[in-house]
C-alpha cells in the first residue's frame, strides 16, 4: 500500500514543494518560536490551513486518496532530564540539564479504507530563530545522548527511553527547524552542514525518505522510538478521552476527531495536556 501511494504522490512533487514553501509566506516570523508555531498550526490562509487548500484538496480530488493536514496545539511541552552519564560525555549550558524535547512533531499516517493505520512515521523538530542551534543542552540531547528520562507523568518514575542510534535513522528522527526569511531543516549532527528547504520535508515524509517509522501502542513496544512517539500521542489525547464511553486509544482520538479527511474546515484542535505541537498528515486509501 505504501509503495503504491508513493508512486501516486511523486506525481505531485512539484506542487508539494512549491506550496509547502508558500505556506510560510503569510506567517509573522517576528515573534518567538512558540507563537510562530501556533500561527502556522492554527491561523487561516497560512500554514496547515494553506496546505489543505493547496495540496490536500487537489490530491483528494484527483486520486483515490483522501488527504488532510491536521494540527494539534498544546501550550505546555515536556521537559526532558538528561542523565549524568550523557552530561559527562556532552556538557550542556544549564545547571539542571533539563530541556524541552522539541517544538513540533510531524506525523505521516497512511490508512486503509476502514481507517486502520497501515504505515506511520514521525520526526521531532527543535525550532530556532536563525540558522544554527543556540542551546547546548538541547543540542547534546539531539546529537549525542543515547537515552533520555521521561517526565514522571509519562508513566513510571524516572523511566528511561533509549534514543535511536545514527545507524538506526536517528538523523531522520530528530532535526532542527530554522526559522528566518527562508525556513529550512537542519539535519543532525549540525556540524555536517546538511540543511534543506522546508519545501522538501513534506514530500520526503510522504515518500518515507525522512522521518522514522513507528507503530503506535499503549501496551507493549517493539522499540523505544515506538514508546516515545506513542507516549507523546497518548499524553496529548488525555483531555479528549470521553468518560463513560468505550475506550479508544490515543491515536484514534485524533483520527476520529478529524474523521472526514476530505472536509478541511475541521483541521485544528487545542488540548490542555502537555505534549508537542503536532501536524498529522493523514492519508486514507478510499478503495482498499
pLDDT tens, residue by residue, 117-149: 999 999 999 999 999 999 999 999 999 999 999
pTM for the whole thing?
0.96
With CA atoms as reference, report the closest residue to 175 among 228, 137, 122: 122
CB neighbour burial string for 142-168, b if at least 16 within 10 angstroms, e if fewer: bbebeebbbbeebeeeeeebebbeeee
**264 lies in which domain range?**
2-285
What integer pLDDT is reported at residue 247 of this predicted model? Answer: 59
Range with the poorest average pLDDT among 16-25, 47-56, 215-224:
215-224
Per-residue pLDDT band for 56 (boundaries 50, 70, 90) equals very high
What integer pLDDT is reported at residue 156 of this predicted model? Answer: 72
pLDDT tens digit string along 74-121?
977 888 999 999 999 999 998 999 999 999 999 999 999 999 999 999
Long-range contacts of 162-167 (CB under 8 A, 24+ apart): 162/223, 162/224, 163/224, 163/225, 163/228, 164/212, 164/225
What integer pLDDT is reported at residue 112 of this predicted model? Answer: 97
What integer pLDDT is reported at residue 154 of this predicted model? Answer: 74
Q: CA–CA separation, 275 vs 42, rounded Å? A: 16
pLDDT tens digit string along 182-200?
999 999 999 999 999 999 9
Q: Into how many domains does the chain fold?
A: 1
Q: What are phi and psi of 37, to 5 degrees?
A: -65, -40
Better-scored residue on pLDDT, 219 or 169? 169
Amino acid at each position: 500500500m505504501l509503495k503504491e501511494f508513493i508512486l501516486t504522490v511523486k506525481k505531485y512533487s512539484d506542487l508539494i514543494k512549491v506550496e509547502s514553501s508558500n505556506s510560510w509566506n503569510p506567517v509573522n516570523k517576528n515573534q518567538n518560536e512558540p507563537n510562530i508555531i501556533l500561527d502556522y498550526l492554527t491561523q487561516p490562509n497560512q500554514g496547515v490551513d494553506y496546505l489543505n487548500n493547496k495540496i490536500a484538496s487537489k490530491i483528494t480530488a484527483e486520486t483515490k486518496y483522501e488527504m488532510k493536514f491536521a494540527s494539534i496545539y498544546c501550550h505546555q511541552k515536556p521537559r526532558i532530564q538528561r542523565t549524568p552519564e550523557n552530561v559527562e560525555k556532552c556538557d550542556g549550558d544549564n545547571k539542571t540539564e533539563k530541556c524541552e524535547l522539541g517544538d513540533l512533531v510531524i506525523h505521516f499516517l497512511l490508512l486503509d479504507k476502514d481507517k486502520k493505520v497501515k504505515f506511520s512515521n514521525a520526526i521531532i523538530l527543535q525550532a530556532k530563530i536563525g540558522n544554527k542551534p543556540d542551546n547546548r543542552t538541547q543540542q547534546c540531547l539531539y546529537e549525542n545522548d543515547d537515552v533520555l528520562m521521561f517526565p514522571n507523568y509519562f508513566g513510571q518514575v524516572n523511566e528511561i527511553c533509549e534514543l535511536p542510534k545514527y545507524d538506526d535513522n536517528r538523523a531522520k528522527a530528530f532535526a532542527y527547524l530554522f526559522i528566518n526569511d527562508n525556513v529550512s531543516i537542519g539535519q543532525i549532527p549540525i556540524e555536517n552542514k546538511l540543511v534543506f528547504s522546508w519545501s522538501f520535508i513534506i514530500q520526503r515524509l510522504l515518500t518515507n525518505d525522512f522521518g522514522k517509522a513507528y507503530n503506535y501502542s499503549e501496551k507493549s513496544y517493539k522499540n523505544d522510538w515506538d514508546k516515545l512517539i506513542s507516549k507523546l500521542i497518548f499524553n496529548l489525547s488525555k483531555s479528549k478521552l470521553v468518560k463513560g464511553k468505550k475506550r479508544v486509544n490515543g491515536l484514534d482520538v485524533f483520527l476520529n476527531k478529524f474523521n472526514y479527511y476530505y472536509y478541511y474546515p475541521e483541521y485544528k484542535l487545542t488540548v490542555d495536556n502537555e505534549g508537542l505541537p503536532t501536524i498529522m498528515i493523514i492519508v486514507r486509501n478510499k478503495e482498499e
